[in-house]
Amino acid sequence: MVAHEDVFKGTAIKRSQTPEELTVALSAFIPANLTAADVIFLCIGTDRSTGDALGPLVGTYLAGLGYNVVGTIDDPTHAMNLAERMAELPADKTVIAIDAALGQVTSVGTYMAINGPLKPGAGVNKDLPYAGTYSISGIVNIGGFMEYFVLQNTRLSVVMKMARDITSALVNVFPMHGSARKVPEEAPVKKKRGRPRKVKTEVSV
């Protein structure tokens, strides 16, 4: 997962803390006429690592609701098969990539809605292809040191809650059976005084 141009292409719209905020962020750039039938959710990660199971969990939840999904707990999309599966995606579908990420301690449990692709594996120094027309990164733990150990020791309760939140937001943005998109009203942003803080990069795993 990411927050700067060196890890994703496009624009990170906003860091979200709730499914409602993520719904608003995604709706800001995903066309309203794009329906569930038009998209494939590319859920990246592995069931062999607690922290990296975020994508497959989202894929499992979405598949259970009838969405088009590549990557579940039973059949994950990971570093070894990502390129092959991306090559098999239908050209007429919009791909929305979902992946776990490592970042700052204050960012753990939050989400980034990205108007563009993300780069899986950047947090663990893997050179994998960019994925997604649009994408979502969920920050599951702290980055910067012993990344594989950190991922293995990420709390499952955190990952499962985040997976449910992402699923909820995607169901709001892409309702089934032709229902209207459900976008909650965005709360007004409180301006903070003082100098802006420098944002550190967060990277997909």
User: Which CATH number do you get for residue 151?
Assistant: 3.40.50.1450
On whether residue 3 sits in a domain, the answer given is no
The pLDDT confidence band at residue 202, using thresholds 50, 70 and 90, is: low
Structural domain of 177: 11-185+195-204
Q: What is the C-alpha to C-alpha distance for residues 149 and 142, in angstroms, rounded to an integer?
A: 11
According to DSSP, the residues that pair with 19 across neighbouring strands are none
For residue 6, pLDDT over 70 is answered with no
Beta strands in 33-75 (DSSP E): 39-43, 69-70
On whether residue 65 sits in a domain, the answer given is yes
- C-alpha separations of 25 from 15, 17, 60, 93, 183 in Å: 8, 11, 23, 21, 10
> For the chain, what is the domain count?
1
Q: Which of 112, 88, 82 is nearest to 2 (CA)?
A: 112
pLDDT, mean of residues 167-188: 82
On whether residue 139 sits in a domain, the answer given is yes
For residue 68, pLDDT over 90 is answered with yes
* Lowest-pLDDT range of 152-156, 184-188, 192-196: 192-196
On whether residue 1 sits in a domain, the answer given is no
According to DSSP, the residues that pair with 50 across neighbouring strands are none
For residue 199, pLDDT over 50 is answered with no
Q: Which of 11-25, 81-95, 188-202 has the highest mean pLDDT?
A: 81-95
Q: Would you state the structure tokens that stand for residue 122, as one six-digit string?
A: 């950047």
Place of tokens 């292409």: 9
For residue 24, pLDDT over 80 is answered with yes
For residue 122, pLDDT over 90 is answered with no
Q: What is the C-alpha to C-alpha distance for residues 34 and 15, in angstroms, rounded to an integer?
A: 23
For residue 190, pLDDT over 50 is answered with no
Share of the chain above pLDDT 90, in %: 63
CA count, 13 A, side-chain hemisphere, 162 = 31
pLDDT value of residue 13: 66
CA count, 13 A, side-chain hemisphere, 28 = 20
The pLDDT confidence band at residue 14, using thresholds 50, 70 and 90, is: low
According to DSSP, the residues that pair with 98 across neighbouring strands are 43, 136
CB atoms within 10 A of CB 137: 35
pLDDT value of residue 103: 87
Q: CA angle at residue 55 from 119 to 129, to 5 degrees? A: 20
* Lowest-pLDDT range of 113-117, 120-124, 201-205: 201-205
On whether residue 6 sits in a domain, the answer given is no
Contact 62, 54 (CB under 8 A): no
Enter the pTM of the model.
Answer: 0.85
On whether residue 48 sits in a domain, the answer given is yes
pLDDT value of residue 126: 79
The pLDDT confidence band at residue 146, using thresholds 50, 70 and 90, is: confident
On whether residue 18 sits in a domain, the answer given is yes
| DSSP designation for 13 | E
pLDDT, mean over the chain: 85
On whether residue 190 sits in a domain, the answer given is no
Bridge pairing between strands 69-70 and 11-16 = unpaired
What secondary structure does DSSP assign to 165-201, as a single string? HHHHHHHHHS-STTPPP--PPPPPPPPPPSPPPPPPP
The pLDDT confidence band at residue 158, using thresholds 50, 70 and 90, is: very high
